[in-house]
Structures are given as C-alpha cells and as structure tokens.
C-alpha cells in the first residue's frame, strides 16, 4: 500500500468520523447514539490499520487491534448492558435543540478548520487536514457531554472525545508508545466499567439516569 493512498484514506475516514460525531449530537435515541459511536470507533480502528500497513509498523497495528477489542467490542457491550438495565426511557434529553446542536457543531468544525489549518504540525502521515478534524471531534464530544442530561449520553460524549484524541495522536505521532497505549486502554476500560456500576446505582436510587437528580450538592 502506498503512503499516498493511506493518507488520503485516513483523510476521508477522519471526515467521516466528524460527520458521525455530528450525528451523535443530532440523534435523540440512545440506541442510535451508541451505534454511531461504535461505527466511529470502527473507523478509527480502520484508520490506524491503514497507517500501520502503510508504514509497516507492527506497533500501530497492535494499537488498531486494541481499538477494535476495547472500543468496538468491549465498551459498546458495557454500554449495551446499561441500556438493557433501564426499561424506562431510551430518549436523550438535551439542553439544546437538535438543529441548534448541529449548527454549533458545524460552526466549530468550520472555525477549527480555518484556525488550525496552517498549524506548526507536520503530521507523520502527511494527512494535514486530519488534525483540525480530530480537534473538532474532541470538542463535539465535550459538547455532547455538556448539553446532554442522560448519564449514558455523557459517557458517549466522553468516548467521542477519546476517539478524537486517538485520531489526533495517530496522525501526529503514529499513536503513543505501545506501553502507554496499553495503559490508556486499560484506564479507559476501567473508567467505563465504573461508570457502568454508577448508572446501576443511579437507577436504584433515583429511578432514572437523568443527571438532573444530581443537583443536591451546591455552594
């Protein structure tokens, strides 16, 4: 595989990841948001695989494999278990409307594309447009976390943020050193598992996963 081909493939995949992120901002169904998240992680794993094949570096391929196992299989499985546990509502409550949310996300994408376009980064793969895209995906992840009240939606937002960052790391430096990557995935898995435990408790104590209930500690 040529470097040229890999870098344009990664370019396309990163744009697709951005579109999916906006889709997560748009959707009002938790199930669909989770599906979109899984698709986005799959794209990330594919991009990593391209980078690994193009540069013949096994450690990037290991990273791609880890992404596949952790972000495409394990994490969605945990989230799915949460969704099965809450029989009540699978709708997302958000503090901004669908159109406003998408408008803000798109605006962010444009702003980052223009401001980060000529940055001091010479990305490792030569996919110059990827970095602004990755940063936008990260920011949309944070946006999902702040605007969505459902605990599960907040976890999804965090994982979008993670995906954006992994994309940035992949393009800027071919990912982190392998030991560090292992640690990052382990921490991520543990954090999602703890969040899983907490959603269970929230359901028992408050009867729903609406973070509106988490407002007693003030001042």
Partner 1 sequence: MIEIAVACLVGVPLACGLAIWALRLPGAAGPAALAASIVALVAAAAIATSVQADGAQSAYGGWVYVDSLSVVVLVLICVVGVCATANSLSYIAHDVAHGELREQDQIRYYALLMGFMATMLTVPVANNLGIMWVAIEATTVVSVLLVSIYRTGPALEAAWKYLVLGSVGIALALFGTMMTYYASTSIVGESGNALNWTVLARSGGALEPDVMRLAFVFVLVGYGTKAGLAPMHTWLPDAHSQAPSPISGLLSGVLLNCAVYAILRFRVLTIAAVGSSYPDHLMIGFGLFSIALAVPFLLVQHDIKRMLGYSSVEHMGIIVLAVGIGGPIALYAAMLHLVAHSLTKSSLFFAAGSVVQAFKTRSMHRMRGLIRVTPVAGSVLLVGAFALVGFPPFAMFSSEYGAVAGSFAHGRAIIGVAGLLLVALAGISLLSHIIQIAYREPRRGVTVRRLPAPAVLSIVTPLALMVWVSVAPPHQFRTALDDAVAVLEGR
Nearer to partner 1 by Cβ, of 98 and 115: the residue is: 115
Q: Is residue 201 within the footprint of partner 1 (CB under 8 A)?
A: yes
Q: Which of 1, 77, 103, 180 binds partner 1 (CB under 8 A)?
A: 180
CA-angle at 88, arms to 87 and 94, nearest 5°: 130
Kindly calculate the radius of gyration of the chain based on its CA atoms and give it in whole angstroms: 18
Q: Which of 58, 99, 118, 215 binds partner 1 (CB under 8 A)?
A: 215
Question: x-or-dash pattern for partner 1, window 144-163, by CB under 8 A?
Answer: -x-----x--x---x--xx-
Alpha-carbon distance 30 to 50, whole Å? 30
Q: Is residue 183 within the footprint of partner 1 (CB under 8 A)?
A: yes
Q: Is residue 112 within the footprint of partner 1 (CB under 8 A)?
A: no
Contact present, 152 and 30 (Cβ < 8 Å): yes
Residues 82-111 that bind partner 1 (CB under 8 A): none
Alpha-carbon distance 185 to 102, whole Å? 30
DSSP string, 80-105: HHHHHH--S--BPPBSS-HHHHHHHH
Q: Tell me the torsion sign for CA atoms 40, 44, 45, 46.
A: positive
Q: Is residue 198 within the footprint of partner 1 (CB under 8 A)?
A: yes
Contact positions vs partner 1 (CB under 8 A): 119-121, 138, 142, 145, 151, 154, 158, 161-162, 165, 168-169, 172-174, 176-180, 183-184, 186-187, 190-191, 194-195, 198, 201-202, 205-206, 211, 213-217, 219
């Amino acid at each position: 595989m040529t470097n040229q081909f890999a870098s344009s493939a990664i370019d396309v995949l990163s744009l697709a990841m951005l579109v999916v992120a906006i889709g997560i901002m748009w959707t009002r169904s938790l199930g669909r948001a989770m599906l979109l998240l899984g698709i986005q992680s799959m794209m990330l794993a594919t991009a990593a695989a391209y980078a690994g094949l193009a540069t013949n570096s096994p450690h990037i391929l290991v990273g791609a494999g880890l992404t596949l196992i952790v972000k495409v299989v394990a994490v969605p499985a945990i989230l799915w278990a949460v969704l099965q546990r809450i029989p009540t509502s699978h709708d997302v409550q958000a503090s901004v409307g669908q159109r406003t949310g998408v408008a803000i996300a798109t605006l962010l994408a444009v702003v980052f594309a223009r401001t980060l376009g000529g940055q001091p980064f010479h990305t490792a793969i030569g996919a110059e447009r990827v970095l602004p895209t990755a940063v936008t995906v990260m920011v949309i992840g944070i946006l999902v976390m702040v605007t969505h009240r459902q605990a599960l939606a907040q976890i999804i937002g965090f994982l979008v943020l993670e995906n954006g960052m992994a994309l940035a790391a992949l393009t800027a430096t071919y990912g982190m050193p392998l030991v560090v990557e292992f640690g990052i995935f382990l921490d991520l898995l543990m954090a999602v598992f703890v969040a899983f435990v907490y959603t269970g408790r929230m359901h028992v104590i408050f009867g729903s996963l609406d973070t509106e209930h988490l407002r007693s500690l003030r001042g």
